[in-house]
Amino acid sequence: MTHIWVRAEQRPNEERVGLTPEGAAKLRAAGLRVTVEQSHVREIGIEGYRAAGCEIAPENSWPTAPHDAIIFGLKELPENGTPLIHRHIMFGHAFKGQPAGRVLLQRLKAGGGALYDLEYLVDEAGRRVAAFGYWAGYAGAALALKCWAAQARGGICGPVAKYPGKAALLADLAADLGDASRPQALVIGARGRVGTGAGDLCAAVGVAVTKWDTAETAHGGPFPEVLAHEIFLNCILARAGCPVFVPASARTEARALRVIGDIACDPTSDFSPIKVYDRTTDWAAPALRVATDPPLDVTAIDNLPSLLPREASEDYAAQLLPSLAALTDLDSGVWGRAKAEFDRHVATL
């Protein structure tokens, strides 16, 4: 019997989950064994999983799970260097040259484990089968506008926290923006899930958006239009061949640009299209000031959908459920392709 073990998230400010109680019930009906760890932070409570017939395990007990269990989480594991013996489903951030990703691959190789990276679960045409993109775009655009509002008041954006829903987020953002004239925003990747979410948030608060996609970026740059907008929202994943949208020289060039929302958020990748910063920001300090005359802030939080954990979890879990039901066959389909990607990268160690 295929055994999926839903672990508690151990990263701060992470309350999402990739399987709802309703989805767990469907997996059990399809013949899968489902274990769910208790969690003191998960947005969706444990009682729903218990009612669905799931086995309940102590929080963070996954290292002692049966060897054949498939450990399912979203964000990073604790970086304690221990070998990893299980097969893991998560966002590993390990295939684009990230230093921490290389360590993760070494731990998996040492323990004989494997990574089925959620970013690399794709169909036959190479399209991702599930993504948090819409809510990342929605929350990322909101955060960029909060940074702009704080900067307009002469400050820098302070700590942020989760919202009970998007209505609460919109109300908070409207209060921040007040009656001031709205900035002009440029969204690159506007036709994708992330860009759509960013565009919808901007429309909801009256921010005009210039929408770019592959046609507008195909020439490879430079892109002076980016510097001519007050807000730039990057919604394109960093991959080989991705052009540079914001060069390092933007710190000192003449520009209207005041805030960069790097929603794709992969600054340590060799392929990052934004060269004015080199580290992520976080909930305690969401804005990184990279220039002062005039100011330029970058916001780059890599778990943005957690600002709206319930909407994000329910949406993502619904997209992913058909693939989880196919875990009974790890050698083909989305899982076979993800394992081949892992094998290719671990072979370079």
Does 294 sit behind a cis peptide bond, omega within 30 degrees of 0 on the bond before it? yes
40 carries an active-site annotation: no
DSSP element (H, E) containing 335: helix 333-346
How far apart (Å, rounded) are the C-alpha atoms in residues 262 and 305?
Answer: 14
The catalytic position among 26, 75, 339, 345 is 75
Q: Which of 26, 88, 93, 229 is catalytic?
A: 93
Beta strands in the chain (DSSP E): 3-6, 33-37, 55-57, 70-72, 87-90, 114-117, 185-188, 209-212, 231-234, 259-262, 288-292, 295-299
Give the CA angle between residues 147, 188, 196 to the nearest 5°.
Answer: 85
**How many C-beta atoms lie closer than 10 Å to residue 80's C-beta?**
7
The yes-or-no answer on residue 93 being catalytic is yes
Could you tell me which of 116, 115, 160, 120 has the C-alpha nearest to residue 284?
Answer: 160
Q: Are strands 295-299 and 288-292 parallel, antiparallel or unpaired?
A: antiparallel
DSSP letter (8 states) at residue 276 = S
| Torsion on CA atoms 55, 58, 59, 65, rounded to nearest 10 | -70
Cα four-point dihedral sign 332, 337, 339, 344: positive
Q: Which residues are catalytic?
A: 75, 93
